[in-house]
Amino acid sequence: MTTEIRILQPNYSVAPGDTLASIARRHGTTIEALAAINNLENRNALSVGQRLIIL
């Protein structure tokens, strides 16, 4: 049996005016999922240019 390990790379760059909610809505996911996969403790502290993983 082979175990596959996937290393997820950031694939989205935060743009001016983006919020976690708007990014989640645009990509068909939830705020909770984005916060969890990106280890975001403060969901309101996004920075322009910050790289996020979007599943």
34 in a structural domain: yes
Q: Is the pLDDT of residue 4 over 80?
A: no
Beta strand segments in the chain, E: 12-13, 51-52
Given a contact cutoff of 8 angstroms between Cβ atoms, the answer to whether 12 and 51 are in contact is: yes
What CATH number is attached to the domain comprising 45?
3.10.350.10
Instruction: Give the pLDDT of residue 9.
Output: 81
pTM of the predicted model as reported, rounded to 2 decimal places: 0.81
Residues in CB range of 11: below 8 A, 6 or more apart: 51, 52, 53, 54
Q: Is the pLDDT of residue 44 over 90?
A: no
7 in a structural domain: no
24 in a structural domain: yes
Domain that holds residue 36: 13-49
Given a contact cutoff of 8 angstroms between Cβ atoms, the answer to whether 38 and 53 are in contact is: yes
**What is the torsional sign of CA 30, 54, 35, 42?**
negative
In the chain, the number of structural domains is: 1
Helix/strand/coil for 10: coil
3 in a structural domain: no
Instruction: Give the pLDDT of residue 1.
Output: 73
44 in a structural domain: yes
Q: Is the pLDDT of residue 12 over 90?
A: yes
